[in-house]
């Protein structure tokens, strides 16, 4: 049985549960239990505070955990980063009141900065040879300047709307973060085997999200040009149509290149283009 720790609430909880479901893992977590065993996969889930997850993984109470990279680096536990999950993206940034003129990181000299991430902030200040006072608080960091507790803050930023609401502006980005899968360094061979099975499922789900399945009709004289745009996993599937000189082409296109590829396909006389999401993609 592999033990995984995820947030019991907060910004990563919903996406973590969704990922397990997309991997075909069924949980019964009724009544907000703090522990749940999967029905159809050898995994047990612990629902914990995000700040505690690196410690639980390090102590081998949990074998693996899903946590923000910012928390992983702040806690600095000797555990492995196994997989970047791509959700929960944010950044750890320094912000100052809008009224302050700010030109460079040197303007932080002599200021008091409130944060819940003192380790990462201290390292950033030291790397930039800035002498500032770090005031560690556990929450509501964004209100610190307005109540006179600090001159600036260092906190997680997603859209920036919370900073704006509290009269702050983002001036330095310390770290770009996302949810990551971590693991204890001393997993048994049995647990490593289960983790590999889980990683296969996770990778198939994440790969599918980054690709689209595409079908189109095209004149045979343009197939070579179309193949250059749609390499597929190995090569496109081509089926002759009843109309002479035409074929149906099926392939996979990366989400990041999607619209650029579609525009070029139209230039090569592609017609009847159908695009579908991919549920799982095992490469």
pLDDT digits 0-9 by tens, 155-183: 999 888 889 999 999 999 999 999 999 99
Alpha-carbon distance 128 to 12, whole Å?
31
Q: Where are the chain's structural domains?
A: 2-88+178-207, 90-177, 211-277
pLDDT digits 0-9 by tens, 108-138: 999 999 999 999 999 999 999 999 999 999 8
| pLDDT exceeds cutoff 80 at 61 | yes
- Which CATH superfamily hosts domain 90-177? Periplasmic binding protein-like II (3.40.190.10)
CATH fold match for the domains 2-88+178-207 and 90-177:
yes
Pick the CATH number of 2-88+178-207 from 3.90.550.10, 2.40.128.110, 3.30.413.10, 3.40.190.10: 3.40.190.10
Mean pLDDT score of the chain, rounded to an integer?
A: 92
HSE (side-chain half, CA atoms, 13 Å) at 148: 0
pLDDT digits 0-9 by tens, 215-241: 999 999 999 999 988 876 678 899 999
| pLDDT exceeds cutoff 80 at 30 | no
Per DSSP, the three-state class of 186 is coil
Q: What is the pTM of this model?
A: 0.84
Alpha-carbon distance 88 to 14, whole Å?
10
pLDDT of residue 159: 85
121 contacts: CB under 8 Å, gap ≥ 6 = 94, 113, 115, 134, 154, 174
Task: Write down the architecture of domain 211-277 according to CATH.
Answer: 2-Layer Sandwich (3.30)
Instruction: Identify the band that residue 2 occupies on the pLDDT scale cut at 50, 70 and 90.
Output: very high
């Amino acid at each position: 049985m592999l033990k995984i720790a995820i947030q019991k609430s907060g910004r990563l909880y919903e996406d973590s549960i969704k990922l397990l479901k997309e991997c075909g893992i069924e949980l019964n977590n009724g009544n907000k239990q703090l522990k749940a065993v999967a029905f159809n996969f050898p995994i047990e889930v612990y629902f914990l505070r995000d700040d505690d997850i690196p410690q639980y993984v390090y102590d081998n109470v949990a074998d693996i955990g899903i946590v923000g990279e910012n928390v992983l680096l702040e806690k600095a536990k000797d555990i492995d980063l196994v997989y970047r999950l791509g959700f929960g993206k944010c950044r750890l940034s320094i912000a100052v009141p809008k009224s302050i003129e700010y030109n460079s990181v040197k303007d932080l000299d002599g200021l008091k900065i409130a944060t819940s991430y003192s380790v990462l902030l201290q390292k950033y200040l030291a790397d930039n040879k800035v002498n500032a006072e770090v005031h560690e608080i556990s929450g509501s960091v964004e209100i610190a300047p307005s109540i006179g507790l600090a001159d600036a803050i260092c906190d997680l930023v997603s859209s920036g709307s919370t900073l704006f609401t509290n009269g702050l502006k983002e001036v330095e980005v310390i770290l770009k973060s996302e949810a990551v899968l971590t693991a204890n360094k001393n997993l048994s061979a049995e647990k490593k085997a289960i983790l590999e099975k889980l990683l296969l499922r996770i990778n198939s789900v994440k790969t599918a999200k980054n690709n689209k399945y595409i079908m189109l009709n095209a004149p045979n004289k343009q197939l070579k040009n179309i193949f250059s745009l749609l390499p597929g996993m190995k090569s496109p599937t081509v089926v002759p149509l009843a109309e002479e000189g035409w074929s149906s082409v099926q392939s996979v296109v990366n989400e990041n290149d999607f619209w650029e590829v579609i525009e070029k396909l139209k230039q090569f006389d592609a017609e009847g283009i159908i695009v579908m999401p991919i549920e799982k993609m095992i490469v």
